[in-house]
């Protein structure tokens, strides 16, 4: 999370504010993460690096179904993991890396809201809506 956060503040350097949302997984709420966010949000750091304020927006505990990324991971699980027969862990990791590389490359080539070309296997549309149940209940 810290590594991702550092990349985000550089990528969105000239923005005023970025919001980071996640589910309640334990690694998302480490004391070190909060310490880094405090440092990043300090006036001194922000002025020196021209970075945005970071606002943490964790989802309620037990509400993974509200997490849009669950839609993406459910799609990945159906596309490359379920009913698969990989010979090794490395072969499976390679398939997952290719899945995300293909999605990222397609988006970089044609930046726009992700459509069926690269996001077609989700249970629901990958957007934040209170009524969206992004977590596929069949794959827990």
Q: pLDDT of 24-80, one tens digit each? A: 666 666 888 889 999 999 999 999 999 999 998 877 666 655 666 667 777 778 888
Q: What is the three-class DSSP state of 61?
A: coil
Q: What are phi and psi of 131, to 5 degrees?
A: -85, -5
Q: How far apart are CA 135 and CA 124, in angstroms?
A: 9
How far CA 68 is from CA of 23, 27, 123, 131, in Å, comes to: 10, 18, 11, 12
pTM greater than the 0.85 cutoff: no
- On the question of pLDDT at 112 being above 50, the answer is yes
How does DSSP classify residue 127? Answer: S
133 vs 72, higher pLDDT = 72
């Amino acid at each position: 999370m810290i590594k991702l956060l550092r990349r985000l503040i550089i990528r969105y350097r000239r923005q005023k504010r970025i919001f980071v949302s996640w589910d309640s997984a334990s690694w998302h709420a480490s004391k070190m993460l909060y310490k880094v966010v405090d440092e990043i949000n300090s006036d001194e750091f922000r002025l020196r690096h021209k970075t945005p304020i970071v606002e943490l927006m964790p989802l309620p505990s037990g509400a993974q179904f509200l997490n849009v990324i669950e839609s993406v991971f459910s799609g990945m699980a159906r596309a490359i993991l379920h009913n698969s027969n990989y010979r090794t862990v490395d072969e499976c990791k390679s398939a997952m890396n290719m899945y995300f590389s293909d999605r990222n490359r397609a988006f970089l080539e044609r930046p726009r809201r992700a459509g069926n070309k690269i996001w077609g296997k989700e249970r629901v549309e990958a957007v934040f809506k209170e009524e969206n149940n992004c977590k596929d209940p069949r794959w827990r």
